[in-house]
Structure 1
Amino acid sequence: MDTANIKGRLDFLREAEKLKSVLRSAHTSTGRTESTAEHSWRLCLMAIAFEDQFAQLDMLKLCVIHDLGEAIHGDIPAVEKNQHPDKSAQEKADLLHLTRSLQPGHRDAIMALWQEYEDAATPEARAVKALDKLETILQHNQGINPQDFDYGFNLGYGRKYTGADPLFAQVRSLLDEDTRQKMGAAAQDASAT
């Protein structure tokens, strides 16, 4: 590999490092705000944890790429997505900027993966979309959230994707049960104050 190609890839990796500092609206189990990179890591781990159920699908590349464009302009919380109709176009432009130092074929491959995910164009992309929603709900339920956190949001979030497969529906059912318990606990805490 020539030096210019190596330098381009290193520049890309330096730029992508910004994703570690992009904060989401979710909180960790210690109460710290979660980063997008941490979300992407656990999404990859979820894909590995359930890969025996989807052995014919290769999901890891999509898991890694799906939010990479957020390294430039940040994350838009799921509860605010309707307020940002240009989110997809912005994220695509940001990913093009992020991959600018890569050779065209490499950049095109990353962009194609992102577009595949964005369009839910393949069984892999639909599975990763479902896992993405389930990971977010799992984190919402596991995190130490502010007192005004809206757990009810979880109950409707991502149903289009999480209901598309019996396994995802089963996972969703368990997470919905957790959400209802969190809602009950939050209501008790609010009435105690």
Structure 2
Amino acid sequence: MTTPYAIAPSRLAAIIDFLQTAEKLKDTLRSGITSNGRAESTAEHSWRLCLMVMLFDRELAAYDRLKLLRLCLVHDLGEAISGDVPATCQSPDDGRAARERADLETLCAPLPDDLGREILGLWDEYSRGTTPEARMVKGFDKLETMLQHLIGRNAADFDYAFNLTYGAQHTVRHPLLFQIRELVDAATRERIAACGTRK
């Protein structure tokens, strides 16, 4: 007796091909440093961003929580091709968004059309901030980076003051984001003061 396939073999092969290429995100390093002193990967950043959103599920009841998680998963996916640009090196006119979008198109090329369109659509939604969910994820994305700065075993000359202005426009859009921001800013000021006393 032959067992019927749950998915067309060609569709399955295309999805596996995409997943194997997307695995490169595990080796795409960011400028953030882990608490053990090694560079974090973009995949690790995206994982903890998903975890943050999941933990605030109750506070985010008015949002499409599945969409929030999908946006978290795809927001940096294009970095699997060309890598990450450190937050301290980013500027609004650096062409980074267009490059990352083009890289994501390359990454999604093996996928069935419906899945490729879905991932690119989610990335566009996040990049443009066109929905409440996209704007919320942008805020969480900035906060995750700031939290990593605080816990990382950073170099002695690390500029903690960067945290105090980073992503400010994205973290004032919702009371939860603002509340987390206040906590992170207070911890940042404590870290700056502690570093100043060691000089």
Aligning the two structures, in what range does the TM-score lie when normalised by the shorter sequence?
A: over 0.9
CA deviation string 1:48-88 (max 9, x = no partner):
01111111322100000000000000000111012861100
In the alignment, which residue of structure 2 is the partner of 1:2? 8
In the alignment, which residue of structure 2 is the partner of 1:177? 186
SS in structure 2 at match of 1:24: strand
Residue identity in the other structure for 2:184: L
In the alignment, which residue of structure 2 is the partner of 1:21? 27
* Superposed counterparts of 1:144-155, under 5 Å: 144-155=153-164
The whole-number CA distance in structure 2 between the counterparts of 1:145 and 1:61 is: 30
In the alignment, which residue of structure 1 is the partner of 2:41? 35
The whole-number CA distance in structure 1 between the counterparts of 2:77 and 2:88 is: 20
Identity %: 48
Q: CA deviation at 1:133?
A: 0.4
Q: CA deviation at 1:41?
A: 0.3
The whole-number CA distance in structure 2 between the counterparts of 1:83 and 1:54 is: 29
Q: CA deviation at 1:15?
A: 0.5
SS in structure 2 at match of 1:51: coil
The whole-number CA distance in structure 2 between the counterparts of 1:40 and 1:84 is: 24
SS in structure 2 at match of 1:25: strand
* Superposed counterparts of 1:1-193, under 5 Å: 1-57=7-63, 58=65, 59-82=68-91, 85-189=94-198, 191=199
Question: As a proportion of its length, which structure holds more helix?
Answer: 1
- TM-score norm. by structure 1 comes to 0.96
Q: CA deviation at 1:4?
A: 1.3
CA RMSD of aligned residues (A): 1.1
The whole-number CA distance in structure 2 between the counterparts of 1:66 and 1:103 is: 20
Q: CA deviation at 1:148?
A: 1.3
- Please identify runs of 4+ aligned residues in structure 1 that moved more than 3 A: none
Residue identity in the other structure for 1:135: E
- TM-score norm. by structure 2 comes to 0.93
The number of residue pairs the alignment matches comes to 190
SS in structure 2 at match of 1:127: helix
Q: CA deviation at 1:94?
A: 0.4
Structure 1: tracts of 5 or more residues without a match: none
SS in structure 1 at match of 2:193: helix
SS in structure 1 at match of 2:30: strand
SS in structure 2 at match of 1:152: helix
The whole-number CA distance in structure 1 between the counterparts of 2:146 and 2:88 is: 12
